[in-house]
Chain A
Amino acid sequence: MIFHKIVVVYDDSSEADRALDVAIELTRALRAELLIVTVLEPLPNYFSWDVSPLPAKQWIERTRTKHTLHQTAARQKANAAGVSLDTELVDGDEVDRIIESAKKNHADLLVVGLRQDTLLIEQPAKKIAARSPCALLGVR
């Protein structure tokens, strides 16, 4: 079939959830493989005012746990629909990491969630579109 490897950009937003729903459906219909990629957001700048590196470390740990939990929930949702998925949790620049991950995994479809409340497409999604190595599905 046309799409064999589907990669979803996933985080804790409702846009990402909608993207995941569509991706699960497509994966099942096309008998493709599914991978969800979450990029950890960068450390907020205000941590640089701290006297100790401990709060920053805790923040990173908390964020990582939060996203891991979200990915587990996504896996359960996919399994309930009879689809198995792989997860990736990466650190760094959002757009760079996503493109890298799509290339590394030989994705032929990249799925991103688009905001519904505004017609403007967010900057990251535009950048992904410009640099995507494969087809791109924007879900509203």
Chain B
Amino acid sequence: MIHKIMVAYDESAEAGRALQASIELAKTLGAELTVVTVLEPLPGYYSFAASVVPAWNWTEEKRVRYRALQAGARQQANALGVVFDAELINGDEVNTIVECAKRHHSDLLVLEMRKHSWLMAGHTSQDVAERAPCAVLGIK
């Protein structure tokens, strides 16, 4: 019933736990796994910079850091014999994750769930959970 798992992954500790859980689930259920990381838009204060170099550096630095993060995740998965697709996408967190889950026809979306997060209006996990096309697993 669950064939395609997608996990939203970033540098938080909760996301690390979500990744670990999805790797184990993918292994046990024999499902496909996709890891998606969203590059959030540039902070607004860069528009005050006199040159575009700091903004460019910021984006580049973040991209490199997330690539390294995904490489680490890949090692973690390979250790358990799981292979996954990784996606690094620019854009708004909620929309991107939901779109990505739709595009991949995922049956299960794994998210980190911070304490009280679903209660707070406008929090990412809750917004994603509300708009997800499939089952949602929140990991604490």
Q: Do A and B come from one complex?
A: yes
Residues of A at the B interface (CB closer than 8 Å) are 1-2, 21-22, 25-26, 29-30, 114, 119-121, 126-127, 129-130, 132-140
The answer to whether B126 and A2 touch across the interface, beta carbons within 8 angstroms, is no
The answer to whether A129 and B28 touch across the interface, beta carbons within 8 angstroms, is no
20 A–B contacts, CB within 8 A, in A order? A22-B1, A25-B1, A26-B29, A30-B28, A114-B136, A119-B131, A121-B126, A129-B138, A130-B119, A134-B140, A135-B21, A135-B113, A135-B140, A136-B137, A137-B136, A138-B137, A138-B138, A140-B132, A140-B133, A140-B136
Cross-chain contact of B134 among A26, A29, A140 (Cβ < 8 A): A140
- Give the complex CA separation of A135 and B113 in angstroms: 8
Cross-chain contact of B2 among A1, A22, A140 (Cβ < 8 A): A22
Q: How far is the CB of A28 from chain B (nearest CB, A)?
A: 10
Q: Which residues on A sit within 8 Å (CB–CB) of B28?
A: 1, 29-30
Q: Which residues on B sit within 8 Å (CB–CB) of A126?
A: 118-119, 126
Residues of B at the A interface (CB closer than 8 Å) are 1-2, 20-21, 24-25, 28-29, 113, 116-119, 126, 129-140
- Give the complex CA separation of A130 and B114 in angstroms: 9
With A2-B24, A138-B129 in contact, do A21 and B135 touch (Cβ < 8 Å)? no
Cross-chain contact of A135 among B2, B126, B135, B139 (Cβ < 8 A): B139
With A130-B118, A137-B135, A138-B136 in contact, do A2 and B25 touch (Cβ < 8 Å)? yes
Q: Which residues on A sit within 8 Å (CB–CB) of B130?
A: 119-121
- Give the complex CA separation of A114 and B131 in angstroms: 12
Cross-chain contact of B21 among A2, A21, A129, A130 (Cβ < 8 A): A2
Q: How far is the CB of B121 from chain A (nearest CB, A)?
A: 11
Q: Which residues on A sit within 8 Å (CB–CB) of B132?
A: 140
